[in-house]
Amino acid sequence: MNRRDSIRSLFLGSMAGGLALESCVTAPEQEINEKIWQYQYGRTPKEAAYDEKLLSEQFFENTEKNTLTRLANLILPPTEEGTIEQAGVPDFIEFMAKDFPSMQTPLRGGLMWLDNHCNRTYGKDFINCSEEEQHQVLDLIAYPDPKANEQKQEVQFFSLMRNLVLTGYFTSAQGIKELGYQGNQPNVWDGVPEDVLKEHGMSYDEDWMPKFVDQSKRNDTAVWDEDGNLIS
């Protein structure tokens, strides 16, 4: 089993924790609306308003976002199925950082630790270090002492980042494709097969057939009225 297969297996048994601190930085309205539209179906008005609030705020500064993106790429390098950027992992972590405030300090503190350590060791920020130097730093926090009663904060930070990256990537279209997950495959059911009906001496009433299921509408999104009645 190679490193990426190991990480894939790790993901199947792990879920991310929480993070966030709010900022008054506002994203362009069009960008917010586009992001909300992606998750519009199935959202109550209260949930949609909450999403809009979070999407209109910014937690990570641009320099932090760049470091976070580089770190995510080191945890899960690009493959033919997709990249961290294509899967929207940085934006996912940004959203989580605002949705779960308890994760905010560990994330921002961890990013600061990376830069401080690299400045002391290599004389430059983490993002400006060579890939070999970056891996050397991550080796210090990716493989903690299993006998330690309590792991260091930088080790906890990397564990949190790894969980967020795995969750963000493997719940995206690119990640699901890489997992090979198929799920339920849609098909068209047009009734009991004719040979089975004949075997039992039965048949459908042609006048009723169009009233059962209209397959021309099988891809339409269901719509309910305010009283919960299905109207389409």
What local confidence, expressed as pLDDT, does residue 230 receive? Answer: 79
What mean pLDDT do residues 187-198 have? 84
What local confidence, expressed as pLDDT, does residue 40 receive? Answer: 60
d(CA 158, CA 106): 9
pLDDT digits (tens, 9 = 90+) for 65-87: 999 999 999 999 998 889 999 99
What mean pLDDT do residues 50-61 have? 87
pLDDT digits (tens, 9 = 90+) for 157-190: 999 999 999 999 998 989 988 888 877 777 777 7
What local confidence, expressed as pLDDT, does residue 134 receive? Answer: 96
What local confidence, expressed as pLDDT, does residue 106 receive? Answer: 94
Structure tokens belonging to residue 106: 């560990």
**Domain residue ranges in the chain:** 3-23+58-179
What mean pLDDT do residues 83-102 have? 93
Residue 163 burial (CB count, 10 A): 17
How big, in percent rounded to 5, are the helix, strand and coil portions of the chain? 55, 0, 45
Question: How many DSSP H helices and E strands does the chain contain?
Answer: 11, 0
Would you say residue 26 has pLDDT above 60? Answer: no
Would you say residue 43 has pLDDT above 60? Answer: yes
Q: What rounded mean pLDDT belongs to the chain?
A: 81
